[in-house]
Structure 1
Amino acid sequence: MDVLSDLLYRARAGEPLVRQMIAPPPWAIAFADPPPLTVVATLGGHACIRLDDASPTMLSAGDIALVRDLGGHTIGDSPATPPQSVVRRGRKYRADTGEEVPDRPSHGPRTYGGGGPDAITMIRGTYHLRGAVGDRLLEMLPPLAVVPAGPRTGAALDLLTAETTRDEPGQDAVIGRLLDLVLVMALRAFVMASPAAPAWYRALLDPTISALLGRLHTSPEQKWTVADLAATAGMSRAAFAARFTALVGEPPLTYLTAWRMTLAADRLDDTDDTVGVIARAVGYQDAFAFSVAFKRAHGVSPSGWRRRRENGVNRIRR
């Protein structure tokens, strides 16, 4: 499995939620506490998206916006339109009175709002992510990333839109995979056009380094050495180390350690495995050496990290 697919697979907590919205102007909806990652696409007409305390961004038909959870955001027809409703903890309320508003599909499965000749059609998908792996995925993105309409993303959006309005066996699984398709294509398009793209992502374009990164991700417990990786790549140790560092931005074993500590943090959060079991699962036979590496990476010992989880301090993205 390649690195991006692995991150998305490990980070997801349950199936994503997809809704189609149809609204005639003027309209605006505020999302007070959105999930960690939101995908918004304008299917017809123009729309506006703005983060709290940020300037508005206009979306044209076919544009895709990726929104990180750094606070709330508002979607509407115009920057001048105040929100008529607020969504908080999955429930919809009137913005003026705070009264809860029943939010039921009105145009078929997963389709909300009202029609009209000037109605704007949008699709919105949300991901609940978990733990340190989720953070690593989100680090690819700024608070708001907009991907202009294009033929490849357009084809994926067409498929997602068509399936969103159907209600057949296995539909949630189909829609989840199609939203993944839209997300990955949007991530590709944005990251490759961004000068701030993570070095490890650009390294995925190199077949040799990409394959080795995939092996590090799927088998972190192996006793990897630079010599082993170089031999797998068919390169000398020095040439491999230089190439990996130049493309990924850090030496091979430094990258491996960071990935191991990411996985270990999530194992401490999500399981009751002993520190020794987790240490072995991420490639350490010595629990003491693992604890030293973990504290260096996270600033707290594994047992201290787990105590923080029990006290509700560690951030789990639900």
Structure 2
Amino acid sequence: MDVLSDLLHRARARNALVRKLVQRPPWSLGFADAPALTVVATLGGQASVRLDEDGASVQLAAGDIALISATTGYTIADSPSTPPQVVIQGQKKYVVGGEEVATAANRSLAPRTYGDGLPGATVMIRGAYELRGDVGDRLLDMLPPLAVVPAGPRTRAALDLLAIEVARDEPGQDAILDRLLDLVLVLALRAWCARPDPARPAWHRALADPAIGDVLRLLHEDPAHRWTVAELAAKVGMSRAAFAARFTGLVGEPPLTYLTGWRMALAADLLRDTEATVATVARQVGYEDAFAFSVAFKRARALSPSAWRRQAR
């Protein structure tokens, strides 16, 4: 499994929330309790996305996708100048724009579909991800607070299919929506990274490099293996020095430092989510000696594994 797929698989909570909005301007929705990662796409019309933290905003045309990893809140509207009408907090809607706005925002047009549905309406899809633990944090670290992916034929085809399925209510619907939202997310990430921009994110440059991408896949597939720099270099047919320099230059840290960070992220989630003993967790992430694992974990998290487990729970 490649690194991005591995991170999504380990970090993803199931049952992603997907909703469709069909609303005539002016309209504005604020999300005070933003999820870890949100996918917002404009199917028809145009929209604005504004972050609460720094006021940064972007305009979305039909087919554009915004990836939002800022968790301090954001607003989706037909225009940056439209004042807030509805604020969603704690899975509840608070209307600040009058009874007419409340009626339009809550009118159900189909399963998971809300708005007035009249001619001239903006059509939006919003998918919210809940991510788990330290692996989820590593995935979020790969993304900016707000990224926009322009419309393209591959993303548009996936969005159209998602838009059709979100309004259905048939057996297996949640599973279909989960997988379609994953498809839209991965296609959007690919398109965002492939844009003609010299400042591509370091993680994408690393994954796209044949040698370093292969090594990252090996580290993720078998983090418990007692990897050495020499062995990793041999796996991709490079000298030890050349490999170490190339890995550090692309990833931003040496190979074994990356491996230790990945092991500690896996260990933190195992301690939080399972009843496995510290010794068992140590072996699962590549430490035969529980004491050596505890020392490494405390160095990374400033708490012993047992203390961290108590605090995390």
> Mind listing any 5+ residue stretches in structure 1 that lack a counterpart?
311-318
CA contact under 8 A between 2:107 and 2:116: conserved in structure 1? Answer: no
Q: CA deviation at 1:197?
A: 4.6
Q: Which moved more, 1:246-255 or 1:30-39?
A: 246-255
Which amino acid letter does the alignment assign opposite residue 218 of structure 1?
E
Counterpart position of 1:290 = 293
Identity %, equivalent residues: 65
Distance 2:257 2:47 in 1: 44
Counterpart position of 2:138 = 136
Counterpart position of 1:8 = 8
Counterpart position of 1:50 = 50
Q: 1:256–1:38: structure 2 CA closer, same or farther, 3 Å change rule?
A: same
Q: CA deviation at 1:304?
A: 2.3
CA contact under 8 A between 1:20 and 1:124: conserved in structure 2? Answer: yes
Q: CA deviation at 1:256?
A: 0.7
Q: CA deviation at 1:196?
A: 5.4
Q: 1:55–1:235: structure 2 CA closer, same or farther, 3 Å change rule?
A: closer
CA contact under 8 A between 2:13 and 2:130: conserved in structure 1? Answer: yes
Which amino acid letter does the alignment assign opposite residue 114 of structure 1?
D
- 1:213 matched to 2:216: yes
Q: CA deviation at 1:105?
A: 6.5
Secondary structure of the residue aligned to 2:13 is coil
Q: With structure 1 as the length reference, what TM-score do the two structures score?
A: 0.90
Counterpart position of 1:161 = 163
CA contact under 8 A between 1:140 and 1:191: conserved in structure 2? Answer: no
Distance 1:153 1:74 in 2: 23
Counterpart position of 1:305 = 308
Distance 2:31 2:304 in 1: 36
Q: Which moved more, 1:228-237 or 1:285-294?
A: 228-237
Distance 1:55 1:255 in 2: 32
Q: 1:263–1:110: structure 2 CA closer, same or farther, 3 Å change rule?
A: same
Q: CA deviation at 1:230?
A: 2.4
Where do 1:224-235 residues align within 5 Å?
Answer: 224-235=227-238
> Mind listing any 5+ residue stretches in structure 2 that lack a counterpart?
none
Distance 1:129 1:73 in 2: 18
Distance 2:5 2:157 in 1: 20
Aligned-residue Cα RMSD (Å) equals 2.1
Secondary structure of the residue aligned to 1:118 is coil
Distance 2:213 2:56 in 1: 37
Q: Which moved more, 1:46-55 or 1:236-245?
A: 236-245
Q: With structure 2 as the length reference, what TM-score do the two structures score?
A: 0.91
CA contact under 8 A between 1:49 and 1:73: conserved in structure 2? Answer: yes
Which amino acid letter does the alignment assign opposite residue 257 of structure 1?
T
Q: CA deviation at 1:62?
A: 0.9
Counterpart position of 1:95 = 96
